[in-house]
Structure 1
Amino acid sequence: MTDTLNGKPHPAPRFVSARDVAELAGVSRSAVSRAFTPGASVAPETREKIMAAAGRLGYQVNDLARGLLANRSRIVGLVATKPEVGFRAHLTAALAAVLIRRGSVPVLINAGETDEETEAAQRTLFGHRAEAVIVLSGSPPSSFIELARSNGLPLVAIGREAPEIDLIQTDNAAAARVLAAAFVEAGHKRLAFAGSESGTPAIVEREQAFVAEATRLGADVAVARGPDTDYAGGLLAAERLFTTRERPSAVFAVNDLVAFALIDHLKGRLGLRIPENVAVVGFDDLPEAAWLGYRLTTFRQDPLDLAEQAVALLENRAAEPSAAPVSLRIEARLMIRDTFRPVADGAPAS
């Protein structure tokens, strides 16, 4: 059987099969299957011949076929809205690496922003019989969580609230309170929060905790929000904060992308110096935060740590389906660079 491309015949793709390995090794097809099944009984000399033949032919076990036979796909769905943006991109990459390491098949499901996109994403995820689901921060609809629960799948949510499931959350409120106190201690009395109208749980928590603590400590706090937590949204928030006569002297940006936009606006458009005129702190510690053009002081979320914790929760849930839900709170560590230094800091820049 052939396909045609530009009028020329091409052979249809054909994977090396277990039968090919069996013929080359001079053993039965079942012996090949046992050799590639952990714990199955096969004589050492037979296994050696099979592995030599498999290596020569380039044979790989068909995990898809095995999953169908065992009614277990090994697929773990990673559900996110705008997974390519900011910290979610790094968290998705870390989750994929950890899942592959344990023998799972990560499948990224972009939940989309319309009802049609959401329905298509749900069909893809549950039509392929995923064995577990991880819902990332952002705003994937709760319908993904409800479908996973109704299908009895182990489920972990990262960076969002959800009832009666396993959760991992960065302690956004604690970080925001620490920063508000550090700003006030450094002598800043007019503060600002550069946020987002996206209204995700992490965004709301950072804003509310920062405003409440700064107000409690006697500072004035201005809040400006862009439409989203991206660079364009950060530019709009920056414009709104710095068009008034009484400009803030310190700003907490809801994430690093917003902080980058804020810094570029202050330096490139207004000619201000950072931190001499305005102190800026972000959240996430993206790799770009350490670049010479930013040297951003920011709170670090470790994507690999979050990924490992999430996969551990999945494994625990698979082992004990009826156990009580687990909720983990992970500290965000302040990475001190050049855009703000707390009064008590005596260490060199990170």
Structure 2
Amino acid sequence: MRFVSAEQVARRAGVSRSAVSRTFTPGASVSPATREKVMHAAQELGYHVNDLARGVLNNQSRLVGIVATRPEVGFRAHLTAALSKVLIKRGNVPILINTGQTEEELVAAQKMLIGHRAEATIILSGSPPASFFELARRNGQPVVMIGRSEPDADHVRAGNSEASQQAALAFLAAGRRRFAFAGSHSATPAILERETAFVAAVEAAGFTVRVARGRDSDYDSGVVAARQLMADREDLPDAVFCANDLIAFGLMDVMRLEAGLAVPDDLAVIGFDDVPEAAWLNYRLTTFRQDPDVMARRAVELLERRLANPDAEPDVERVIPLIVYRDSFRGKM
């Protein structure tokens, strides 16, 4: 595969190679007649500037690494897409680094992160190990964390505690009294925060919370959590707060199909994220909306501030999710 070169454009336009370079360099001096000939030749040949080579010469790659574990799952998929759009609009080249789940995959991902001399790194929630943050920091890369916490980094955080407390109060106000939380053993910071805040709010009102967990934060974990809660058929919950929407989908399907419960009459369910499937007719899930576009914009704003002032104190952008009421729970605050 051969890309059209600047030398070919120069020959077609009848100008020097340096004239082509100046034409495509913002602010460089080039006569209007030369510029017109070069641009006409470039359009005929389909020429585009080699930004990668130019970045290497200027020691500025314009690459931004997006680091995630299982980026295809749930809200992370929508956040990754939103980040890509915002970064491309800014003039960056997003490079998705899937950390994988084995030691070999982690090592390969770390080499990719540093080997391509990314301008900055954005690390998503989930389970990318802290070593990714340390590696980026040691190499002088600005780092923005989304949905997790590391010292000396800029952060975008969802209002997990506020939303979880609101879910508990909404269930209590609706007269629900048998509470459960459906989470996962992945124990990401966001899920731990949601579980802790929900349990604390319910216990402060004088009630207890049964906690059920699957292995990961996905549909299958919702299935596992539901079957754990069904183990005692005499004490089925009447209100479940789920760590995310995917868990809620699995739990609702099992509770309806295997336990014979009606949602929301027998069982009220609230999720977290508001992925598009939450509005599907089979679920109509009441959930807390995290807006991936808002979070992506906040992350890039933090990145721009850090690049402009590398020595500034770490900054935090907090995004409070709003509850979206649908059919799985109709209570109002």
Runs of 4+ that moved beyond 3 A: none
Does 2:307 correspond to 1:310? no
Q: State how 1:297-336 maps to structure 2 within 5 Å.
A: 297-336=286-325
Cα distance in structure 2, aligned partners of 1:128 and 1:202: 30
Out of 134, 151, 159, the residue aligned to residue 146 of structure 1 is 134
Q: State how 1:118-197 maps to structure 2 within 5 Å.
A: 118-197=106-185
Cα distance in structure 2, aligned partners of 1:203 and 1:96: 25
Q: Which amino acid aligns with 2:133?
A: I
**Residue segments in structure 1 that go unaligned for 5+ positions in a row:** 1-12, 345-350
Q: Which amino acid aligns with 1:36?
A: F
The Cα shift of 1:343 comes to 3.6
The Cα shift of 1:46 comes to 1.8
Residue 328 of structure 1: SS of its match in structure 2? strand
Cα distance in structure 1, aligned partners of 2:332 and 2:322: 17
Residues 295 and 339, structure 1, Cα contact 8 Å, conserved in 2: yes
Out of 248, 252, 272, the residue aligned to residue 263 of structure 1 is 252
Cα distance in structure 2, aligned partners of 1:258 and 1:54: 52
Deviation sequence 1:99-137 (CA, Å, 0-9, x none): 111111111111122222111110111011111000000
Deviation sequence 1:208-238 (CA, Å, 0-9, x none): 0000001111222111011110111110001
Q: Which amino acid aligns with 1:105?
A: V
Q: State how 1:157-306 maps to structure 2 within 5 Å.
A: 157-244=145-232, 245-306=234-295
Deviation sequence 1:67-92 (CA, Å, 0-9, x none): 11111211111111111111111111
The Cα shift of 1:139 comes to 0.8
Match of 1:40 in 2: 28
Counting aligned pairs with the same residue, the percent is: 60
Residue 222 of structure 1: SS of its match in structure 2? strand
Q: Which amino acid aligns with 2:197?
A: A
Equivalences, count? 332
Residues 184 and 219, structure 1, Cα contact 8 Å, conserved in 2: no
Cα distance in structure 2, aligned partners of 1:101 and 1:205: 33
Residue 145 of structure 2: SS of its match in structure 1? strand
Cα distance in structure 2, aligned partners of 1:323 and 1:34: 36
Cα distance in structure 1, aligned partners of 2:199 and 2:107: 37
Residue 21 of structure 2: SS of its match in structure 1? helix
Cα distance in structure 1, aligned partners of 2:230 and 2:179: 12
**Residue segments in structure 2 that go unaligned for 5+ positions in a row:** none
Residue 323 of structure 1: SS of its match in structure 2? coil
- TM-score, with structure 2 as normaliser: 0.98
Residues 137 and 160, structure 1, Cα contact 8 Å, conserved in 2: yes
Q: Which amino acid aligns with 1:96?
A: S
The Cα shift of 1:30 comes to 1.0
Cα distance in structure 1, aligned partners of 2:32 and 2:175: 74
Q: Which amino acid aligns with 1:291?
A: W
Cα distance in structure 2, aligned partners of 1:299 and 1:343: 13
- TM-score, with structure 1 as normaliser: 0.93
Q: Which amino acid aligns with 1:327?
A: V
Deviation sequence 1:154-205 (CA, Å, 0-9, x none): 1100000111110111010000001100100000011110011111100000
Deviation sequence 1:286-311 (CA, Å, 0-9, x none): 00001111111100111111111111
Residues 78 and 109, structure 1, Cα contact 8 Å, conserved in 2: yes
Residue 272 of structure 1: SS of its match in structure 2? coil
Match of 1:6 in 2: none
Q: Which amino acid aligns with 2:155?
A: L
Cα distance in structure 1, aligned partners of 2:256 and 2:216: 22
Residues 189 and 218, structure 1, Cα contact 8 Å, conserved in 2: no
The Cα shift of 1:243 comes to 2.2
Residues 194 and 254, structure 1, Cα contact 8 Å, conserved in 2: yes
Residues 285 and 300, structure 1, Cα contact 8 Å, conserved in 2: yes
The Cα shift of 1:315 comes to 1.1
Residues 134 and 158, structure 1, Cα contact 8 Å, conserved in 2: yes
Query: Could you say what the CA RMSD is over the residues aligned between the two structures, in angstroms?
Result: 1.0
Q: Which amino acid aligns with 2:68?
A: A
Residues 197 and 225, structure 1, Cα contact 8 Å, conserved in 2: yes
